[in-house]
Amino acid sequence: MDLISQIVKNDLFIFISSVSGILGFIIALVVNSKVTKIKKYVDNTKELNQKNTFGDNKATIK
């Protein structure tokens, strides 16, 4: 009986470890996706700001 309870405890530990590993992987993928979207937004905003800043400055060479 002691051996069976030990096996059940080991299997439960392995199952919980696997589930937590899978959840951690999914969370990492979601966070990575969000960070990528934020980086793209920031890059686009920087590009727009540069166009707005430098786009109207026309140099006239005489």
Rounded to an integer, the average pLDDT of 1-16 is 83
Give a yes or no: residue 18 inside a domain. Answer: yes
Residue 56 lies in a domain: no
Q: How many domains in the chain?
A: 1
Residue 38 lies in a domain: yes
Instruction: State both tokens at 27.
Output: 């969370």
What six digits make up the tokens of 15? Answer: 């199952």
What range defines the domain where residue 10 resides? 1-47
Interval 23-62: pLDDT, tens: 999 999 999 999 999 988 888 887 777 766 655 555 555 5
pTM (predicted TM-score) = 0.56
- Which residue in 14, 45, 34 sits closest to 26, CA to CA? 34
